[in-house]
C-alpha cells in the first residue's frame, strides 16, 4: 500500500529511534542508478529498509525530493 508520509512524521520517527540498529548491523549499500547535471536516482539498501531516492540540484546543492521505501522483508525483529 502506498502512503504519503510528511517530513514531521519522519523527523519524529527518527527522534524516537524507530528503525535504528547498531552500526555493525546496518549493512548499508548505496548505488547511483542515474546521475545527470541536475537530477539523480539512488538506491539505498540496508538491513531495515529498501529506499529509492530522487535527488535534484537546487541552487547548487543536492536535495532529496522524494523517497520510496519498503521494509526489508528480512529485517531484524525489534
User: Greater confidence, 11 or 62?
Assistant: 62
**Separation CA 41–CA 52 (nearest Å):** 7
CB 39 within 8 A of CB 48: no
- Does residue 14 come out as left (phi exceeding 0), alpha (psi in the -120 to 50 range) or beta? alpha
> Quick one: CATH architecture of 7-71?
Roll (3.10)
What are the structural domain ranges in the chain? 7-71
Residue 45 has a pLDDT of: 93
Tell me the pLDDT tens digit for each residue of 12-60. Answer: 877 887 767 777 777 889 999 999 999 999 999 988 889 999 999 999 9
User: Greater confidence, 3 or 52?
Assistant: 52
Q: Which three cell numbers stand for residue 59?
A: 541552487
Amino acid at each position: 500500500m502506498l502512503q504519503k508520509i510528511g517530513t514531521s512524521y519522519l523527523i519524529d520517527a527518527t527522534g524516537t529511534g524507530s528503525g535504528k540498529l547498531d552500526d555493525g548491523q546496518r549493512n548499508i549499500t548505496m548505488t547511483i542508478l542515474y546521475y545527470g547535471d541536475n537530477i539523480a536516482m539512488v538506491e539505498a539498501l540496508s538491513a531495515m529498509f529498501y529506499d529509492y531516492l530522487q535527488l535534484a540540484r537546487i541552487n547548487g546543492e543536492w536535495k532529496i525530493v522524494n523517497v520510496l521505501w519498503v521494509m526489508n522483508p528480512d529485517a531484524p525483529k525489534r
